[in-house]
A = this chain, B = another copy of it.
């Protein structure tokens, strides 16, 4: 898609994702950046990275979009249908290996299945 100049902010954002197993909201991401980066800039970077198939995004609670690195996507389209998990105690979100089967329905053509599992993570269980 868009041109990608190798800017400091872009590198910082990618580093943040590479340094964690978690999925990150824009807010969490900004907290973890070692320098201040403007909110708009972060959103724009995330949009661009998503267009380019570098990250994917999905909604978790409460009405917040989370982002994580893609494994096998590129600018020609996102191909994943894995589930996500959010801990109801610490709010941490992760991508799961679990592939999600897209079911067939009578009345509807289903293109996509979004699955968010909620419960407790290992850390919060003890």
Chain A residues within 8 Å of B, Cβ to Cβ: 59, 61, 63-65, 83, 85, 87-88, 96, 98, 102-103, 105, 107-122, 125
Contacts and interface: CB of A to CB of B under 8 A. Distances in A.
Given A65-B63, A85-B105, A115 B115 contact: yes
Number of identical monomers bound together in the oligomeric complex: 2
A117 B115 CA distance: 9
Contact of A111 (B83, B88, B110): B88
A75 to B, nearest CB: 21
A109 B85 contact: no
Contact of A112 (B108, B111, B112, B117): B117
A113 B103 CA distance: 15
Nearest to A121: B108
Contacts of A110: 85, 117-119
A117 B105 contact: yes
Contact of A118 (B61, B65, B114, B116): B114
Closest 9 CB pairs of A and B: A111-B119, A110-B119, A63-B63, A114-B116, A112-B118, A109-B119, A109-B120, A110-B117, A107-B122
